[in-house]
Structure formats: C-alpha cells, structure tokens
Amino acid sequence: EAGVAQSPRYKIIEKRQSVAFWCNPISGHATLYWYQQILGQGPKLLIQFQNNGVVDDSQLPKDRFSAERLKGVDSTLKIQPAKLEDSAVYLCASSLVGDREGQSRTFGSGTRLTVV
Amino acid sequence: SQQGEEDPQALSIQEGENATMNCSYKTSINNLQWYRQNSGRGLVHLILIRSNEREKHSGRLRVTLDTSKKSSSLLITASRAADTASYFCATGHTGRRALTFGSGTRLQVQP
C-alpha cells in the first residue's frame, strides 16, 4: 500500500513569511495527525482530524498555525507568520480509525522547515 | 510536556550485541508503542503492548511492560548496522486522545 505522502520535503523561509505543507494520508485512513518535531525531541501533536472534523487541536498555536482537511482526505498545515522557533520537521501521520486503544500511526517522511 | 522518557539518551554498541532501551512514564496508560526513526525520515511503528500484557516479541524485538513501575523496555537482539536509528516510546492514556512521545534513544550500531 502507498504510504503517507508529504510535500515539500524541505522549505527555507524568512521569519514573518508564510508557509504551507501538504499531506495525503493512506487511502481509507479516517484519522490524520500533524506533529511538530524539534531537533532532538520526540514528535508533539499539533492537530488531529477524524475525517474532516477536528478532534484535538489543544496544542496548536492558533494565532499563527492553521490546518484544514477538506473532503476528509488531503490536509494542509499553514504557518502565518513564521517565527524562528517554528524551525522543525512537520510530520503527518494517519491511522485507520480514531484514537482507540491499540491504534498505531503510519508516518510520512516529513517536511523540514528552516526559518531564518 | 512529554510523558514517556527514554533512557539512555544515546547508546553505541557493536554489531551482534544486544541493545536495551528503557521508557518511563508518569500516569496510567492503556497501551505503549515503540517507534523507530531513521535520520531524516518519518517514524515507523515497531510494536504495541497493551496495559494488560507483560511481554511481547516481534522478530528480534522484545518489549516488556511493568505497569507497577510505570516502565517499559525494548530489547533488540543481535543488532545490525541497519538498526542505527532513534527509538521512541509513545504512551496511550485512557481519556486522552493523543499518543505522547518521549525524547528518544539514539542508537548507533558499529559494524
């Protein structure tokens, strides 16, 4: 089966600019996650979608980050305006159903963002 | 904040040796998962152990869970250079929606 696709692979922007990341989950996976992984740390959940509805966005900095999942398939994550501390790898993951006990995630390769 | 904390932070061994990584957590869980991340790549799910299980095997991997000590260990037997990666534990908690990842153990297997 095809994996989770993400683009772009790398992005370098100046602070205060905007950036958007795209994710295409595994076909049929209802749940989609965006994670932020700062160098040397584990992934931190930013937002979780169940189909096209938001399940958990408690750790999303909503003043600058936004995400959508139109039609319950692809998703985009946007940062506007970017700050230096947003430099990280942004990982998209998907799973078959919601966050029930025993659900593992399939991750994409991520987008490495550098804000200068 | 991150729930699971891996120990050691870094581990270097020779090919053929066993590698043991530990994970400690603070609150009750309903499952614990281990993931591997190769440099510059996404995470790959390795194994899941439920709170009512004590040990699980998958190929060269062995995971144990001690809920009384709130800890888990991942053992990789007969390590290979290809096992070089970062390993993360992630805990699933009753009532919480999100898996919580630790900071990882960076494993280096010398050929």
CATH of the domain at B61: 2.60.40.10
Confidence at residue B93, expressed as pLDDT on a 0 to 100 scale: 78
Going along chain A from its start, the domains and CATH numbers come out as 5-98+106-115 (2.60.40.10)
What is the radius of gyration, based on Cα positions, of chain B? 13
Q: Do B2 and A56 touch (CB under 8 A)?
A: no
Higher per-residue confidence, B70 vs A101: B70
B42 close to A108: Cβ distance less than 8 angstroms: yes
* Chain segment B12-70, per-residue pLDDT in tens: 999 999 999 999 998 888 899 999 999 988 999 999 999 999 999 999 999 999 999 99
In which domain, by residue range, is B22 found?
5-110
Q: Do B98 and A99 touch (CB under 8 A)?
A: yes
| Cβ burial A34-58 (10 Å sphere, 16+ → b, else e) | bbbbeeeebbbbbbbbbeeeebbbe
Q: How far apart are CA A11 and CA A15, in angstroms?
A: 12
| Number of folded domains that form chain B | 1
Q: Does B24 touch chain A (CB under 8 A)?
A: no
Confidence of residue B95 (pLDDT cuts 50, 70, 90): low
Count of A–B CB contacts within 8 Å?
60
